[in-house]
Chain A
């Protein structure tokens, strides 16, 4: 029944490693997002995908790469992890059209700790 699910919920890893976070939504939404929430609790958009096409690509390092095999999935792959990557990463989805963005539905978050 979970609308937006992401795994893993917790991830602890060493600097320099590569890791992935998976996200799936069963709401039939057209758009999915990845957000980063740092220790100051500020939500920052990283990527969004609309029908498998990247429509927002904020100024994030190219070590971060979103991958969307279909419109229900948007995975986040991170190469060469750095200490500053430690944060909570939220996946979200919405139904977007030209009149409004629609309500965002968030996953539970994935807390990444880089040691």
Chain B
């Protein structure tokens, strides 16, 4: 079967750095997305990785290792507004999106 694993919840301190991991087992791979979802709102796009390595976009970076079936989202200089759920989603061989259950990130002052 197809499976996306990410931690259910994480807590971090304002101004710090946090890494949210995602491991996947899918039938084929055509890219991996990270989305952010604030409570009561729609998911919004953060990043897309299809090649191995690190993609940096401001305070957020996303890393992919296809051989390990592994990705992480790195958030630097955490702000209170970063409190949200972070969803990992993988594009399988049929170009269908397989979603993880999301990681709820709690930022404390």
Contact = CB atoms under 8 A, between A and B. Distances in A.
A96 interface: yes
Interface stretch (A12-20, A67-75, A106-114): A106-114
Give chain B's interface residue range (CB within 8 Å of chain A). 20 to 34
Chain B at the A interface: mostly helix, strand, loop or mixed? strand
A45 interface: yes
Interface residues of A, number: 19
Contact of B45 (A90, A100, A103): A103
Nearest to B46: A103
Nearest to B35: A104
B85 A98 contact: no
B12 interface: no
Nearest to B48: A103
Interface stretch (B17-25, B61-69, B73-81, B92-100): B92-100
13 contacts: A40-B101, A43-B89, A43-B99, A43-B102, A45-B96, A45-B97, A56-B96, A100-B95, A101-B91, A103-B45, A103-B48, A104-B33, A108-B41
Given A100-B91, A103-B48, 20 more contacts: A40-B101, A41-B102, A42-B101, A42-B102, A43-B43, A43-B99, A45-B97, A90-B42, A100-B30, A100-B31, A101-B30, A103-B33, A104-B33, A104-B43, A105-B45, A106-B42, A106-B43, A106-B44, A107-B42, A109-B41
